[in-house]
A and B are shown apart, each in its own frame.
Chain A
Amino acid sequence: MTRPSTSRLVRRLIALALRTWPIALRHTRGRDLGRTLRTDTESRRGVAAGLVLLAGLIDIVRAGLHARAASGRRARRMGGPGAGATGAPGVRHRARALTRGLRADLTMAIAAVRARPGPALMVVLTLACGLGASTTMFSAVDAVLLRPLPYADDARLVEITEVEQARGSTGASLPALEDWRELPGLAAIGAYAAEAGILHAGGDAERVDGVGVSPGFFATLGLPALVGRTFDPDAPRFDPDPKMILSHALWQSRFGGDASVIGRQVALDQRHYTVVGVMPPEFAYPAHAQFWTTLTGAMEMIAQWRSVRYLEVVGRLAPGTSVGELRASLDAWRDRQAALDARAYAGHRPRVRPLRDAIVGPAGPALLVVFGGVGLLLVTACCNVAGVRLAGGLARQQDLAVRAALGATRARIVRQLSVEGLLLGLAGTGAAMALARATRGAVVALAADRVPRLEFMRTDWRVFAFAAAAGIATALVFSIGPALSLTRAPVSGHLRASGSRTVAGRGRGWRAFALLVSAEFALAVVLVAGAGLLLNSYLRLSRVDVGFRPGGLAAARITVPLAKPWTEDPTKRRFHGEFEQAVRALPGIRDAALVGRAPLEAVRGGTEISRPGRDVTAVPNGLLQVSSPGYFRTVGARLVEGRDFTDADVDTTERVAIVNDVLARALWGDASPVGQRLEFGYFSGPTPATVIGVVHRIQYDDLSAELRPELYLTYRQAIVVPMQLVFRADGDPVASVPAIRAALARVEPGGVVTLDQVTRLDARIGTLLAPPRFYLMLVASFALMALLLAALGIYGTLSFWLGERRRELGIRLALGASPGALARRIVGRGLILAGAGLAAGLVLTLAGGRLVAHLLYGVTPADAPTLAGASLALVLVALGACALPARRAMGVDAVEVMR
């Protein structure tokens, strides 16, 4: 409670509550009271502070009411002794009067709704749209960004890493981890590195993916094991007796949820671990980890190098330390290290961010943009409802005037109208909750696999609280505004105008309507333009040249054991060659090949590639790929120049390479690279190769990833990295998987090698397109609703205006105006409103454009065709909405109206 903004809010709230006090008392004691309550609030933390503040505010108001009642009584009694006297009767009386009054208001409100159900229904439906969409989005934002992570005091968890800008690679070295452990800003620190292996226990051989973790990992996150224990934070870093903790899912699927698994030996490949615990299902860090082991000593030697950045680090901030302070001390650490070892730290900077940001990633800001969009929709709905209420109020103005003349105060009338609004607001809230509940499943289904934590979307009390708060707030806004505007004029005017419809609420009503409708249009422009930009960006993304033909193409992960003789390249080459041949021979398989990373697969880091010698045109972030001959043919990539690898390119012949057009252009410009030599960074240092071909680039990583320089080697001349099988089948490639598995079993019996993660490439494209499609569909539906509301608004306003002016129009007709001129007048009015809104909306769109820029691909926020299209759509909608009132104006019968 010590942030300046919070403390200002506390001051405001106290000042507001003190308004209930009699002036004299407020002046003598108010300031000191405020100071005391603030001290009291600030002495607590978190929820407790909020509760103290809330109780304090309620008490101030109560004390204020007591004091007012008591001072009234004292005035009557004139100076009796009274320190012990209390004000119960007066307050009770007041409270009872208030309840009675509210009950009367409620009865009248229900009567008013019954008398004119049309507008009320309209209001509730509009609110259900606006509030329903907002509530659904809130529940998504709540799940992704607000709900606490399942770890103790999760706000203090941070991700720390070292970033190399040039290659976009991240990771931390073991010595860095040791240094960071000493930083005063961190209470605890832990690290993990990917670990995988083939599990034979409890079923068929299956590859499982998990992490090896440092001893402090679990203590840092602070969630206890479900069964057994987590790792001892004081254990040695490299455990001579490796231990394993199972994820809840793996425990269920492979060990039948049996608690006696604790203490058992489990083998991954030929590495043996003792199971010591099982984590609860909500522990999902890192995401999808199936097990956690102690770090093994295999890498102990090279792990001591500062340039080997293979760890992901999670830290817990010490109490009172901010992320910014930790960042500053990390930067200072980096500068000290760079002075000692310039080579290991060249181009590297530490990065620290809240763990939630790391988990949620880019989905967080995107979701906030969409939430902002729904906020605009809610305001539009609010404007619309205010318009309906204003029209209803103007129609009832004489009724209100009579009540005022009979002695109802302005406050009393405003209160009654507000109660009516509140009733409608509550109905809208109910409908919104129902809508949010109904759409939850659809929203989760649309994007749960690509928006982290979206699966936690619920329609629980938090969401209900939001819906109720938003509903009540909107109800008050759309009621009090019109109510104040309606009750501003003197009573007599309305009474005198009784009977004649020409005078009542003339200019005033119009101005308020014009403002509301223009605002609606402005907001609709922003939403429609936003949806247009997202659509434009989505279309571009879905038409990206991926460089391969996805139809019938699939990729599957091959895992060989991490044990002898499988650590030797000749063994792997023999197996991969035989397996590839066996798959190619299968019926229904058109082609098959091997590659390190299949198209559109995530890529981390990069390799420096240059011409031999000192070369200034070197690329730092090349993608080094190991493939088999026929890979390009299989995926349908275009060989622009030269030849593919052949089976004759083996480890005894000259090392050859194929480059993509991006790399060719970067190193040799327009000259042909075929026959040229290059050098690439490899395990053993810079390694030369001769270029034999140029391939048109293939898209890796994401659809929107920048074009990367790619360098291909054949697996017979390179270290055999973990490989993927890519194959093209007639029909659905997934249907061929059993046959492929059978072929694998023939080549390598006994489940020694596994094949999993089979993905169709067209499905992978669909998955990558899912988030932008998700945001597009959300914003587009908001835009459609806003457009509808704006159209209804302009239609309603013109209809109302027409109703007010029927007499005037009749007179004009009688005096010789043509019906067409009247219609033009109506349409002109409508277009003025729409035009004003359009201009304001375009300004808003341009101003807010940079907020959505990070969601766009290939389009700028100020994209002129998109904005023009949105404007055109709005003008057409406005024209459509004007048409009906205009037709009605043409049909006005002068004689009938004048009578």
Chain B
Amino acid sequence: MAPPESFLPLTPVVFDILVSLATQDRHGYSILVDVRERTGHALRAGSLYRALNRLLDDGLVEELDERPDPALDDERRRYYRLTPLGRGVAVAEAARLEVQVKNARTARLLTAQGTPPGGAAGAGAARRAGWRRRGSNR
């Protein structure tokens, strides 16, 4: 089995999915909602499933046979769980990002609170930048 580090760096979408599955097993819609609520980015279903498929192929995520909360759900829904390898990869990516963020702080790109320079006006700019980043990364 490949070491976790060989999967780095992850795309933001993949990382978001792994983080989402780190807390509990989820079905697709639940991942979608969770990522949206946590990050404010609209994760689209198409991207989600393409990424999920790669994660399944690479063994970072597995599909569940049992249903975590059968009372609540449509039984045809598929549930996904983080594998130990997937957890390892997520931890490795988080560590990598932490180093990068620390470097950014040292370079005074971020204040201690994490607010981007420019204050409130920066929120829109950050969102636009997010758009651009997501567009160009792929």
Contact = CB atoms under 8 A, between A and B. Distances in A.
A and B are interacting partners: yes
A895 interface: no
A36 B48 contact: yes
B11 A84 contact: yes
Contact of B28 (A36, A82, A91): A36
B74 interface: yes
B60 interface: yes
Contacts of B42: 55
Interface residues of B, number: 34
Contacts of A67: 50, 53
B107 interface: no
A812 interface: no
A65 to B, nearest CB: 10
B77 to A, nearest CB: 6
Interface string A12-40: 00000100000001001110110111011
A25 B45 contact: no
Contact of A84 (B8, B48, B50): B8
A82 B46 contact: no
Contacts of B10: 83-84
23 contacts: A25-B50, A29-B52, A32-B77, A33-B46, A35-B29, A35-B76, A36-B49, A40-B29, A56-B44, A59-B44, A60-B45, A60-B46, A61-B46, A62-B47, A63-B46, A63-B47, A67-B53, A82-B54, A83-B10, A83-B55, A83-B60, A83-B89, A91-B138
B47 A35 contact: no
B78 interface: yes
A441 to B, nearest CB: 44
A87 B137 CA distance: 9
Which A-B residue pairs are the 3 nearest by beta carbons?
A: A59-B44, A60-B46, A36-B28
B125 to A, nearest CB: 22
Nearest to A86: B138
B52 A37 contact: no
B54 A39 contact: no
B41 to A, nearest CB: 12
Most buried by A among B7, B49, B136: B49
Nearest to A17: B46
Contacts of A30: 49
B7 A59 contact: no
A64 interface: yes
Most buried by B among A32, A56, A87, A91: A32
B58 A83 contact: yes
Given A25-B53, A36-B32, A88 B46 contact: no
A685 interface: no
A309 interface: no
Interface in A711-764: none
Given A33-B28, A59-B45, A83-B58, 18 more contacts: A29-B49, A32-B28, A33-B46, A36-B48, A56-B46, A59-B44, A60-B46, A61-B46, A63-B49, A64-B46, A66-B138, A81-B6, A82-B54, A83-B89, A84-B7, A86-B137, A86-B138, A91-B138
Given A32-B77, A66-B50, A86-B138, A81 B2 contact: yes
Contacts of B27: 32, 36
Contacts of A83: 7, 10, 14, 54-55, 58, 60, 89
B9 interface: yes
A81 B50 contact: no
Interface string B43-87: 011111110111100101000000000000010111000000000
Interface in A307-354: none
A61 B28 CA distance: 18
A84 B32 contact: no
Interface in B1-34: 2, 6-11, 14, 27-29, 32
Contacts of A86: 11, 137-138
A78 to B, nearest CB: 14
Interface of A: 17, 25, 28-30, 32-33, 35-37, 39-40, 55-57, 59-64, 66-67, 81-84, 86-88, 91
Contacts of B49: 29-30, 32-33, 36, 63
A86 B9 CA distance: 11
Most buried by A among B44, B60, B136: B44
B61 to A, nearest CB: 10
A29 B53 contact: yes
A36 B29 contact: yes
Nearest to B136: A88
A29 B49 CA distance: 7
Given A29-B52, A32-B28, A40-B29, A88 B138 contact: yes
Interface string B101-135: 00000000000000000000000000000000000
A68 to B, nearest CB: 11
A59 B8 contact: no
A67 B51 CA distance: 9
Most buried by A among B28, B89, B137: B28
B30 to A, nearest CB: 9
A54 to B, nearest CB: 11
Contact of B46 (A28, A59, A81, A87): A59
B100 to A, nearest CB: 15
Contacts of B45: 33, 36-37, 40, 56, 59-60
A25 B52 CA distance: 11
Contacts of B32: 36, 40
Nearest to A92: B138
A35 to B, nearest CB: 6
Contacts of B77: 32, 35
A251 B115 CA distance: 54
A59 B54 contact: no
B29 A39 contact: yes
Nearest to B36: A40
A434 B79 CA distance: 55
A82 B60 CA distance: 12
A84 B9 contact: yes
Contacts of B78: 32
Nearest to B76: A35
Most buried by B among A40, A59, A63, A83: A83
Contacts of B136: 88
A277 B77 CA distance: 57
Contact of A55 (B11, B29, B44, B52): B44
A431 to B, nearest CB: 37
Contacts of A63: 44, 46-47, 49-50
Contacts of B9: 84
B66 to A, nearest CB: 16
A308 B49 CA distance: 65
Contacts of A25: 50, 53
Contacts of B138: 66, 86-88, 91
A30 B48 CA distance: 11
Contacts of B47: 59, 62-63
Most buried by A among B2, B6, B29, B55: B29
Nearest to B52: A29
Contacts of B11: 84, 86
Nearest to A29: B49
B1 to A, nearest CB: 12
B2 to A, nearest CB: 6
Most buried by B among A35, A87, A91: A35
